[in-house]
Amino acid sequence: MTAHKTFHIEFIGEKTIPIEEGESVLDAALKAGIPHYHTCGGHARCSTCRILVSKGKEHLSAINDKEAALREQLTFPSNVRLACQTFVENAPVSIHRIIRDVSDVDLYIDQSENDFSELGEEKELVLFFLDIRDFTPFMEAYLAFDVIHILRKLFGICRTCIEAGGGKIIETAGDGLYAVFGLRCSPETAAMNAIESGFAIFKELENFNRDYVQKYFRHRFQIGIGMHCGNVIVGNVGLGINNNLTVMGLPVNIASRIQSATKDLNNSFLLSNDVLKQAETKDYPSALLTMKGVTDPIQVHLLGEPYYPASVFLLKDKKAENIAAPLT
Ligand code: FES
């Protein structure tokens, strides 16, 4: 008879337990008195036994067909496994139980509509901020219906261009929005796509201004776009609101401030040197931005156009054709 090897597995914050070769992580946990959740009884149907692997992913058994089927349905990140289908083949291995008691279940189950992990993950993303310039005078001059109607159209244009480049809108707030690129592609592709999406938005906005806004509202919208990239924490806080994907970290704040700097630098499209380098695109004129709370100045590149003064655009008493003419 061949003797089974015995390894050890650390349940972080709980205890380290022995696990035999050929024994599932779930079985070992239950044998050691850990109340590991397993609603379906270990048949790869419920996902309540899921674990987050912190160390030793390479020492675990390969994903079997049953686990693969459930993973596909639930879009697990690579460091999440089903304890009932996972075996330890070497050491060291450290894991977290994700669902610890019944109060955790609702946080993680039945969220298969989310298109990204609800678990916290660190990821390199391109952060994309967009703001509509001088929206307040427009809001004051038109009915609430018109304001929302126009915002829907503007954000619709942005959404089409952002999603065409593989980006995802995280949030809209008032007359601005915030999106990320790189959830499902390399940082290099994300940077290239984000820049292309930015240019596509400017082009579509131009058409929208010419064919619709000037015609029906005697107005013309301008926007500011700012981008930065870096490592951020991505996760879903699981309230079921708006898919509730949350992205946090200093790069997010920097991207937002770069967008704000479009006003000071009088250029509609700014991106940090980090994004430009990732995209390996041609060079553009640059400037240095000093930001409170950030040690070194941030080099930004100016890809856009100077703004026209806002007063030119809200001309309700003038002919729409006049508005299209640039200022001299
Ligand atoms: S116990 Fe249900 S999937 Fe593992």
Cβ of 45 closer than 6 Å to ligand 1, yes or no, is: yes
Ligand 1: which of 24, 25, 38 to mutate, judged by most atoms within 8 Å of the beta carbon? Answer: 38
- pLDDT value for 114: 46
How many domains are contained in the chain? 2
Task: Give the whole-angstrom CA distance, residue 175 versus residue 316.
Answer: 21
Q: Are residues 173 and 305 in the same domain?
A: yes
Residue 304 per-residue DSSP state? S
User: Residue 43 corresponds to which tokens in the numbers above?
Assistant: 């048949």
Q: Are residues 213 and 306 in the same domain?
A: yes
Q: Are residues 104 and 126 in the same domain?
A: no
Cβ of 94 closer than 6 Å to ligand 1, yes or no, is: no
Cβ of 48 closer than 6 Å to ligand 1, yes or no, is: yes
Q: Give the mean pLDDT of the chain.
A: 87
Quote the domain boundaries for residue 217. 121-324
Cβ of 49 closer than 6 Å to ligand 1, yes or no, is: yes
CATH number at residue 38: 3.10.20.30
Q: Are residues 232 and 262 in the same domain?
A: yes
- pLDDT value for 104: 67
Q: Which secondary-structure segment (H or E) carries 169?
A: strand 168-173
Q: Are residues 144 and 274 in the same domain?
A: yes
Q: Are residues 102 and 128 in the same domain?
A: no
Q: Are residues 30 and 162 in the same domain?
A: no
With respect to residue 158, please indicate whether it lies within any of the assigned structural domains. Answer: yes
Task: Give the whole-angstrom CA distance, residue 312 versus residue 219.
Answer: 9
Q: Are residues 222 and 269 in the same domain?
A: yes
With respect to residue 235, please indicate whether it lies within any of the assigned structural domains. Answer: yes
Q: Are residues 94 and 126 in the same domain?
A: no
| pLDDT, tens only, 12-66 | 989 999 999 999 999 999 999 999 988 888 999 888 899 989 999 999 999 999 9
Q: Are residues 125 and 182 in the same domain?
A: yes
CATH number at residue 259: 3.30.70.1230
Task: Give the whole-angstrom CA distance, residue 194 versus residue 188.
Answer: 10
| pLDDT, tens only, 188-224 | 999 999 999 999 999 999 999 999 998 888 889 999 9
Residue 165 per-residue DSSP state? T
pTM for this entry: 0.69
Cβ of 66 closer than 6 Å to ligand 1, yes or no, is: no
Q: Which secondary-structure segment (H or E) carries 298?
A: strand 298-302
Confidence of residue 4 (pLDDT cuts 50, 70, 90): confident
Residue with tokens 């990320």: 180
With respect to residue 114, please indicate whether it lies within any of the assigned structural domains. Answer: no
With respect to residue 115, please indicate whether it lies within any of the assigned structural domains. Answer: no
Nearest to 216 by CA among 288, 145, 273, 282: 145
Of 108, 143, 178, which one is at a domain's C-terminal end? 108
With respect to residue 113, please indicate whether it lies within any of the assigned structural domains. Answer: no
**Cβ atoms of 290 and 265 closer than 8 Å:** no
Residue 327 C-alpha from the chain's centroid: 38
Cβ of 40 closer than 6 Å to ligand 1, yes or no, is: yes
Q: Are residues 74 and 126 in the same domain?
A: no
- pLDDT value for 88: 96
In this structure, the strands spanning 121-132 and 223-236 are antiparallel
Task: Give the whole-angstrom CA distance, residue 100 versus residue 96.
Answer: 10
With respect to residue 225, please indicate whether it lies within any of the assigned structural domains. Answer: yes
195 CA distance to ligand 1 middle (Å): 42
Task: Give the whole-angstrom CA distance, residue 179 versus residue 170.
Answer: 5
With respect to residue 152, please indicate whether it lies within any of the assigned structural domains. Answer: yes
